[in-house]
Amino acid sequence: MKRRGMLNSHIAKVLADLGHTDQIVIADAGLPVPNGVTKIDLALRPGTPSFIEVVTELLNEMVVEQVTLAEEVETNVEVDQELKHRLDKIPTKYLTHELFKERTKEAKVVIRTGETTPFANCILHAGVNF
């Protein structure tokens, strides 16, 4: 058993296979997953695990060069504030929610959380550590 870090074997595999600019979506419980994109479903019950919990762990494990969010996330004040705190040094791009959903078709994987608040979704763009 791993001592620390990502214990979910499916997520650990995705992270190990990422290349520069590959994309991972972290989604609330309601975001549609496009056909052909792998879904890793972490949802246990409404709110568990939370979107912010999953984002925090992925940011600890992954080199992120950019984040994409839906503009509408600003209406979800708690999630928006938490994201701004965690992403303060990472360039962030905003799209309409409809365009955001279109972009999820390019993702390697969608990680579904138990989050049940609106617009709690992001796309993490992989960077490199050199």
Task: State the catalytic residues.
Answer: 20
- Quickly tell me which residue has 């992954």 as its tokens: 62
Tell me the H-state helices in the chain: 9-17, 51-61, 77-86, 97-103
User: Tokens standing for 58?
Assistant: 């992925």
Residue 43 labeled ligand binder: no
CA 105 → CA 18, 86, 95, 116, 130, distances in Å? 16, 25, 15, 22, 28
85 is in an annotated binding site: no
- The answer to whether 28 is annotated as binding is yes
**Residue list, annotated binding site:** 28, 97, 119-121
**Residue list, annotated binding site for substrate:** 28, 97, 119-121
